[in-house]
Amino acid sequence: MRLLASNPLRYRRQILALKEFFVGRKCTVLMLDDRTAEGPDLQLHSIAHGVIALYLKPPVYGQARRQLQVLKFRGSDFATGFHDLRILNGGITVFPRLVASEHGAEFNRTLIKSGVSTLDALLGGGVERGTSTLLVGPPGSGKSTIALQYAVAATARGDHAAAFIFDETRAALLGRSAGVGLTINEGDGPGQITLRQIDPVEISPGEFAAEVRRSVEQDHARVVIIDSLNGYLNAMFQDNYLAAQLHELLSYLSNNGVTTMMVIAQSGMLGANMTSPIDASYLADCVVLLRYFEHNGAVKKAISVMKKRTGGHEDSIRQIWFDAHGIHLSEPLLGLRGVLTGVPVAQVKLAAYIVSATMAALAAVLIIGWQGSAINALGQGYELRVIASTVIGGANLMGGEGGTYGAVIGAALIEVIRNSLLMEGIDSNWQGAFVGVFIVLAVLLEKIRGRRRA
């Protein structure tokens, strides 16, 4: 019609005439505009009672994202903003933008237990109904297994649980669960778990929110698992509103008394420089941290609670491991320091460092009294004497062998040798060479003894 009209004024008159014609005959008219003209047609917008805009956002990879926006609808309090939609066989499906304040239900804020007594003790008795828990850690540390433990415990109480899986297949999850003693009873009813495998490149955030709403409002799910936020982030395409949409979704679940377990995998395996693709810790009511750490020649796993808004929790760090009988947690790791850094230090080693520093300070005081003065170069070269004393006294340079008495005897022997060299008038520069020779001989003797023991 725009092309048939010779000018904008005639085009507007034609639209007004059509409007009067259809109003007199009580017709509902839908006008389509492919928006090939430059800019929006505001003249047409002013004439119509309602204006609906459709958008298509093709991503770099995956399904194109279609959205709908109601720009105008006279006499109605319509839902503003963008709403995801899909074109399916038989028509289109619109997923309205989730508004958490429009949904809610009365519920009792009781504690939800996992069925593992030590894990519940770490969390101060359990997690509260209607709260969200974020499980953070490197890949393979047990985050998904802990989340499934809460879902299985919920089904044992007769509740329904729903797990939305982004990062692994349903078959892999069932096999892994069976390997740690978790029996998953699939279904949509009470005492069952719904496993919904999500392809992040084929689903929009609005459609995902609609799936969660269906599990809560139709299947009456009381525990919801999102595994993981890394996959949920990939479902956002090029948008940067994950935190806002996730906040709205968590608020909706909280208003309906649903306990939410979220999993997020960090990049890296060991060390303190591990990063997350998004910081969602401030959104969650409870944050559980898992870490790998090396101890006694083995790689182990640790768990600790960093935050819990709704109550108290243990401040300790426990070791966690998994076997065919389920999840196990040790007593608090009181004898280690630096567990969360990946390289813990035992208290015995820490005490040895403290004693060593104290003895070095005492030796410095004695040497200053003996010399009658203090200079910054005083004691230079004593490191070689200390090494020689410990090696001659029977200590192994690789560690694990040696004692205090042997080191004292070695130190006395070194001083006898030094005094003998001084009495013979040998230059002090050669004394270090003699001490080095004794160290080499002691190491060779240790090697020979080691071979004989082998």
pLDDT at position 338: 79
* pLDDT tens column, 14-49: 888 888 888 888 888 888 887 776 666 676 777 788
pLDDT at position 348: 62
pLDDT at position 123: 94
* 207 and 270 housed in the same domain: yes
* 108 and 196 housed in the same domain: yes
Tell which of 95, 112, 137 closes a domain: 95
Q: Is residue 1 part of a domain?
A: no
* 305 and 213 housed in the same domain: yes
CATH number at residue 35: 3.40.50.300
pLDDT at position 165: 93
How many domains does the structure of the chain reveal? 3
Q: Stretch 409-427: mean pLDDT, rounded? A: 79
Average pLDDT, the chain: 85
pLDDT at position 3: 74
* pLDDT tens column, 377-400: 777 767 777 777 777 777 766 655
* 208 and 309 housed in the same domain: yes
* 158 and 236 housed in the same domain: yes
| Pairwise pLDDT comparison (255 vs 419), residue with the higher score | 255
pLDDT at position 13: 83
Q: Which residues of 405-441 are buried (b: 16+ CB within 10 A; e: fewer)?
A: ebbeebbeebeebbeebeeeeeeeeebeeebeebbee
Q: Stretch 195-199: mean pLDDT, rounded? A: 92
Question: Is the pLDDT confidence value at 242 over 80?
Answer: no
* 364 and 334 housed in the same domain: no
Q: Is residue 167 part of a domain?
A: yes
Q: Of 25-34, 78-87, 358-367, 397-406, which gets the smallest average pLDDT?
A: 397-406
* 198 and 309 housed in the same domain: yes
Tell which of 321, 343, 365 closes a domain: 343
Q: Stretch 239-268: mean pLDDT, rounded? A: 88
Q: Is residue 162 part of a domain?
A: yes
* 335 and 353 housed in the same domain: no
Tell which of 74, 95, 116 closes a domain: 95
* 297 and 407 housed in the same domain: no
Q: Of 104-113, 234-243, 321-330, 373-382, which gets the smallest average pLDDT?
A: 234-243
pLDDT at position 92: 92
* 120 and 145 housed in the same domain: yes
Q: Is residue 3 part of a domain?
A: no
| Pairwise pLDDT comparison (408 vs 399), residue with the higher score | 408
Q: Is residue 2 part of a domain?
A: no
Q: Stretch 415-439: mean pLDDT, rounded? A: 75
* 226 and 191 housed in the same domain: yes
* 173 and 229 housed in the same domain: yes
Give the domain extent around 72.
Answer: 8-95
